[in-house]
Structure 1
Amino acid sequence: MDLDMAQVRAFVRTAEELHFGRAAGTLGVSQQALSKRIARLESLLGTRLFERGGNGVHLTPAGRRFLPPARQALTAADSAVAAAVGDDRPLRVDVWGHLYAPMRTLAQVAGEAGELVSGHGRDLPSVTNALLRGDIDAAFGRVHPPLHAGLTHRLVRLEPVDVVLGADHPLAAEPALRPDRLRGSVLWAPGALDRLDFLHRFADRFGIRDTGTSVNLGLAHLLGEVAADPRRFTLLPADVPLPEIPGLRSVPLVDPTPLYAWSLLWRTGSGHPGLSGLTAACAAEAGRSRWLEYDPARDWLPEPPSSAAPAA
């Protein structure tokens, strides 16, 4: 029995999404085309792989048995193609979280990671879809649940976060601030908080009840609005260069210090040789620059990762 790998890929993606429409979208095909591929695979195997009904899509017992070796078959097929045709093209790396300037970190490892080509991903969902379609090889930004089952990520950097406010803000002259002292201020965000996971969790954790939303027209626009109102503040990683806006102040946050977690993300089973070089370069720089230090008594993370190294 010869398996059609396009059909196997359609099955695996649908098994991961448990939704035909989403699976079709990640593969860049119509839902009708995806359904036909799975129907042909079921016909070839002589068994149903999915139960379709009012309660959604579920794997049958045969589908659950077929899924692990099907994933292995896809990984082997991708490796075989790469071995046959060669893969000396640059590693395609996309980013998200642009206001937090992810390229600052990638620039510090690019020289050791081989040839990279950067993209301009909009957000985690769009980057996820690009990875699953094979449009890019890796991505860099803040990962938060739910993460697609077909992706792998590795923590690269934990970056302290400062509060940014205008000179007329009552707390502007402080040398450092505890996050809970911001409760009487307005958290100014470049979009709806339910789409900005880090800011949303910060507000919940430290009791920030007053929030406001800007239009995301870039960092200078956001910070210009912050500087213009003495009630407003926003958060930025400490190393992000601030635009030259009169009266803008960046104040460290302490007791605890919020940390922004940067991760490298790629499709599970990806065989591009540049991935190992990039992950090795990130690990080396993390060791030199102490990027992964984390002390739960001193620092705050929305989701403390198991791979974060406690401070000595």
Structure 2
Amino acid sequence: MDLDLALVRAFTTTAGTLHFGRAAEELKTSQQALSKRIARLEELLAVRLFVREGGVRLTEAGERFLPAAHEALAAGGRAVAAVSGAGPAVRIDTWGHLYAPMRTVAQAAQALGPVRLEPGPGRDWPSVAQALLHGGTDLGFGRVHPLPGGRDAGLTQRLVRLEPVDAVVGPDHPLAGADALRPADLREYTLWCPAELTRLDFLRRFADAFGIARRQDGPNLGLDHLVQHLRGDAGCFTLFPADAPLPDHAGLRAVPLVEPVPLYAWSLAWRESARHPLLDTLLRGFTETGRAHRWLDYAPRRDWLPDTDHAKLAEGY
């Protein structure tokens, strides 16, 4: 059977939205035309790919077909790139957007030569892990942590950066004038978590490790919302990677943390069974940049990492 990639693309787009109307808009076609493409693909494969009663969801056959469908589209893209001379693109989804993950990716990209990156936003690590497993992206970048139920089985990760973390407070916070703080100095204050705490593995582990009992979370409404909250509540603080940009006009104070220095672990993740042809080139670029900038410096007596990040150190350079 010769698969029509237009039909395959109709399937993957619909599988990504689980909504025929939104998928049709994304493909710039009518919902009727999209439904006909899906029906034609189901006819060729002799299976149902979607359940359409009570909403749209994938059948078991559709779940099995989705990773291979993404790989077929990626292979088609590489074939076109080979003819055009443009070179293959690498899709990379990032998460942890308040912490500006693209800072690190951009620095590493300078060492990659002609590699074309196609960055995309991921909601969080669980959603990017699912996209990797289903073939919806080639590479993930952010903070990786174990997922319950083995939902990250089949994925490989590489630690590429350990970034010191500062305490960030508003101008009226009692500790705003400090030159440096120990994590223990924050115990009497409230940790503000700029998303649901269940999604913020690093902040949760930090609070548990250093006895931060007061915790407040809320929806991630962006950096401006975070700034306004910290400026308006003198009893709150949050954590921010030391090199991540804060608005110059915000009046916030970023105070280095010491004894120990908390480190935020940035990692690359991919599906080993679907390695992109340029993966080794990408890893080499991150390694060279990391060595030049000492991204993986770690001293056990000086620094603190969550237990789940220790095992990654041996897999770094």
Q: TM-score under structure 1 normalisation?
A: 0.72
Uncovered stretches (5+) of structure 1, i.e. residues with no partner: 1-24, 40-73
Change (3 A) 1:38 1:201: closer
Given candidates 252, 268, 280, the residue that maps to 1:276 is: 280
Instruction: Give the aligned partner of residue 164 of structure 1.
Output: 168
Corresponding residue for residue 122 of structure 1: 123
Aligned-pair Cα RMSD in Å: 3.1
Instruction: Return the offset for 1:134.
Output: 1.3
Q: Secondary structure in 2 aligned to 1:184?
A: coil
| Equivalent position of 2:140 in the other structure | 139
Aligned with 1:193 (options 194, 197, 206) = 197
User: Conserved in 1, the CA contact under 8 Å of 2:261 and 2:302?
Assistant: yes
148, 153, 158: which one pairs with 2:152? 148
Residue matched to 1:108: 107
Q: Secondary structure of 1:169's partner?
A: coil
Tell me which of 208, 214, 236 is aligned to 2:212.
Answer: 208
Contact 1:257 1:300 (8 Å CA) reproduced: yes
2:265 to 255, 261, 267: 261
Post-superposition offset of 1:132: 1.5
Cα displacement (A) at 1:97: 0.6
Whether 1:308 aligns to 2:313 is: yes
The residue aligned with 1:91 is 90
Q: Deviations over 1:228-277 (max 9, x none)?
A: 21101000000011113443100000001110000001111223222111
Give the whole-Å Cα distance in 2 for the aligned partners of 1:107 and 1:38: 34
Counterpart CA distance in 2 for 1:304 and 1:93 is 22
Q: Which residue of 1 aligns with 2:300?
A: 296
| Identity among equivalent pairs (%) | 51
CA distance in 2, matches of 1:269, 1:305: 25
Residues 152 and 246 of structure 1, relative CA distance in 2, 3 Å threshold: closer
Mapped contact 1:112–1:277 kept (Cα < 8 A): no
Q: Please, which runs of 5 or more residues in structure 2 have no aligned partner?
A: 1-14, 19-48, 52-56, 82-86
- How many residue pairs end up in the alignment? 251
Q: Which amino acid aligns with 1:135?
A: G
Look up the equivalent residue of 1:284 and give its one-letter code: E
Match for residue 36 of structure 2? none
TM-score, normalized by length of structure 2? 0.71
* CA spacing shift, 1:115–1:299, aligned 2, 3 Å: same
Deviation string, structure 1 residues 151-179 (Cα, Å, up to 9, x no partner): 11100000000000012111111100000
CA deviation after TM superposition for structure 1 residue 220, in Å: 2.0
For each residue in 1:264-296, what CA deviation from the matched residue of structure 2 results, as whole angstroms up to 9, or x when unmatched? Answer: 011112232221111100000111111001111
Stretches of 4+ aligned residues off by more than 4 angstroms: 28-39, 84-87
Contact 1:224 1:245 in 2 (8 A): no
